[in-house]
Amino acid sequence: MATTSLFDRVRRSEAASGIALISPTALYAILLLAAPLATVLIYSVMTDGPSVGVIWQLNGENYAKVWTEPIYRAVMLRSLLVSFAVTAVTVLLAYPVAYFVSFNVPASKKSLWLFLITIPFWTSYVIRVFIWKGIILGYNGVINQVLMGVGLTSEPLQAINYNVGAIIITLAHAYAPFAILPIFVSLEKIDRSLLEAGLDLGESRFLTFLRVTLPLSMAGVIAAVMIVFIPTVGDYVTPTLIGGGKVNMIANQIQVEMLKQHRMALGSAIAVSAMLIVCVICLVFLFINRRFLGAQK
Amino acid sequence: MKFPVLRVYTVLYLIFLYAPIALLPVFAFNSSKVIAFPLAGFSTRWFAEMLNDDLLFRAAKATLIIAVSSSILATCLGVLAARASTRFRFPGKGGVMGLIMLPMILPDIIVAMSLLVVLLAMGVNLSLLTVILGHVLICTPFSVAILTSAFQSLDNSLEEAAYDLGETPLSTFRLVILPLVMPGIVSSLLICFTISIDEYVIASFLGGNQTVLSVYIFGQFRFPAKVPAMLALGTILVALSIALLTIAEYFRRRGIAKTGAKDTGGFL
């Protein structure tokens, strides 16, 4: 009995030290993240006042507007479609890179490769997006000049600028490391002897990959999908700079409502709706994957 | 046969990743106002034009104040959270850590607008301080991620040995743990600094009349005549970021070597 109570005491003191140590960071996150998010949630069911701020009057109209008016639905739908496309493109392009670094690069060089992959991600986002728009994909951009130089087209293509395609390319570039790193980590965890076993048992390399490596790295792929999907839905810089106000996404709409129209409640309702949809999609995705992975066993 | 295909693909992918920042200096040093090939000739006039821009220097000063303050604050908060989560078990750890790490994947616009709503409701004037509040929030998860791997590779027996030799928890932390995780701390400071310099959405929402560099650059892109000078500025910023990241990577690796752990690579 004495030992249990001592053990309990130690454990309790460990819990107490842990909580004490984390409390400043936790408090900061609660005050400046959780509380503001809760405020947005409350604002979304209030009424917009004539000037900045809301009238404390319960009101479901904001949500009715966001979910029924064509302009909001169009923006929401576009954001989701762009995000789906970006996620698919980014993760598919990233997988072979993660595979190469994990399986074909000597262990001592791996962190150098990862470092090389992450560098562009850390350099000014605004400037990178502008270069995509102005220099690479633009009317007089590098791609058009190459296409005309090779003789594939006689006139610059309009189709690659100021549209959804350009937004997708730019976002796929921006979020590349978010996809590569989780897949890499899951590939690194795979016991290499399993692959040898697969080969020894007469499977081809490709089938071993399909039946051993890919299923074992699914956790990383799922993480990559979520980490790319969630922030791209709300990306602001790329649709603003590339779309030039013509192809707005959710973030632009929120910005317009909150800063230009001063409709805080409506802006909040858009944000909450978007995050809600994202959450539901992620949960459905996780659920489908659990079923899928369960069937694999 | 399989290896070259993957290798070639990966190299092409790296070219895709580096294309924008490789083209940046090409046009920053190009003498023509038109941002397109063929190049007109070598010139440093855009750098000269940039240096004569007073507004730019004011924005740079604001950026510097924000980046230094937020990287220090975020790293302090990061040390506490990373230490608590790697060393202690306590109830509610998963939830609290989830909340702290949330800004890493939450769209910046959500963080920015929710803070804006609260600040306006409280009647707080938007200033450099409000941008710092936001930047600390988004830098902390990165700091926690870097420092968690630094604290994780610590051997607990070092700490126990210090206690056995009569050190207090505080002096143990200062004499044993801090020196071992110092490289992680330096790495976290540099990464947070880089994030803060580049951040646009929060700076533009919470900055009020205070324009920071990223917001200034964003605004100037509307004027074609200003673009070359902004590319010159961008070249300097990218060079600075790469230098800081290289130093951060050096410290991260040294930290791992110091504690004798295996390098798994990557900041995230």
Name which of A19, A33, A249 to mutate to probe chain B: the one with the most chain B Cβ atoms within 10 A of its Cβ. Answer: A33
Q: What is the DSSP string of A190-248?
A: S-HHHHHHHHHTT--HHHHIIIIIHHHTHHHHHHHHHHHHHHHHT--HHHHHHHTTSS-
Q: Using a CB-CB distance cutoff of 8 angstroms, which residues of chain A are in contact with residue B197?
A: 124
Read off the amino acid at residue A131. I
> CA B222, CA B106: separation in Å to the nearest integer?
28
> CA B146, CA A194: separation in Å to the nearest integer?
31
* CA–CA min distance A236, chain B (Å): 7
Residue of A nearest to B130 (CA): A32
Torsional sign, CA B70, A178, B214, A83:
negative
* CA–CA min distance A254, chain B (Å): 8
| Residue A141 counted as domain residue | yes
Ordered domains of chain B (ranges, CATH): 49-86+97-259 (1.10.3720.10)
Interface predicted TM-score of the whole assembly (ipTM), two decimals: 0.86
What are B11's two structure tokens?
């190299």
Contact A32 B115 (CB under 8 A): yes
Candidate from B14, B78, B264 with C-beta closest to A116:
B14
> CA A126, CA B26: separation in Å to the nearest integer?
18
Domain that holds residue A291: 64-296
> CA B52, CA B49: separation in Å to the nearest integer?
5
| Residue A256 counted as domain residue | yes
pLDDT score for B74: 96
Candidate from A34, A111, A128 with C-beta closest to B21:
A128
Residue of B nearest to A272 (CA): B110
* CATH number for position A153: 1.10.3720.10
| Residue A20 counted as domain residue | no
> CA A224, CA A183: separation in Å to the nearest integer?
7
Number of domains composing chain A: 1
| Residue A16 counted as domain residue | no
Contact A118 B266 (CB under 8 A): yes
pLDDT score for A1: 46
Task: Please report, for residues A16, A24, B12, the alpha-carbon distance to residue A20 in angstroms, rounded to integers and kept in the order given.
Answer: 6, 8, 49
Backbone angles phi, psi at A47, to 5 degrees: -110, 140
Q: Using a CB-CB distance cutoff of 8 angstroms, which residues of chain A are in contact with residue B137?
A: 28-29, 32-33
| Residue A38 counted as domain residue | no
Assess A18–B contact: CB distance below 8 Å, yes or no.
Answer: yes
* Residue whose tokens read 């000063």: B61
Contact A39 B91 (CB under 8 A): no
Q: How many C-beta neighbours within 10 Å does residue A149 have?
A: 9
Q: Give A162's pLDDT tier (boundaries 50, 70, 90).
A: low
Candidate from B13, B105, B242 with C-beta closest to A123:
B242
Partnered with residue A48 across adjacent β-strands are A54
pLDDT score for B201: 93
pLDDT score for A273: 93
Average pLDDT of chain A to the nearest whole number: 84
Q: Using a CB-CB distance cutoff of 8 angstroms, which residues of chain A are in contact with residue B255?
A: none
| Residue A111 counted as domain residue | yes
Stretch (H or E) spanning B177: none
* Residue whose tokens read 């930290």: B255
**Rg of chain A's alpha carbons, rounded to an integer?**
24
What are A139's two structure tokens?
């009317």
Helix (H, G, I), strand (E, B) or coil at A48: strand
Assess B223–A contact: CB distance below 8 Å, yes or no.
Answer: no
Q: Using a CB-CB distance cutoff of 8 angstroms, which residues of chain A are in contact with residue B198?
A: 122-126
Partner B, chain A 58-87, Cβ-Cβ below 8 Å? none
Backbone angles phi, psi at A137, to 5 degrees: -95, -5
Candidate from A21, A104, A178 with C-beta closest to B7:
A104
| Residue A264 counted as domain residue | yes
Q: How many C-beta neighbours within 10 Å does residue A194 have?
A: 12
Assess A249–B contact: CB distance below 8 Å, yes or no.
Answer: no
Torsional sign, CA B255, B85, A15, A35:
positive
| Residue A136 counted as domain residue | yes
Ranges A36-50, A146-160, A240-254, B53-67: which has the least confidence? A146-160
Stretch (H or E) spanning A52: none
Residue of B nearest to A265 (CA): B117
* B11 Cβ contact partners less than 8 Å away, ≥ 6 residues apart: none
Contact A227 B105 (CB under 8 A): yes
pLDDT in tens, chain B (268 residues): 455 888 899 999 999 999 888 888 888 888 777 776 677 778 787 888 888 888 888 999 999 999 999 999 999 999 999 999 988 888 888 999 999 999 988 999 999 999 999 998 888 888 999 999 999 999 999 999 989 888 887 877 888 888 888 888 788 888 888 888 888 899 899 989 999 998 999 999 998 888 899 999 988 888 888 888 888 888 998 898 899 888 888 887 877 776 666 555 544 4
Contacts A–B by Cβ distance under 8 A: 266
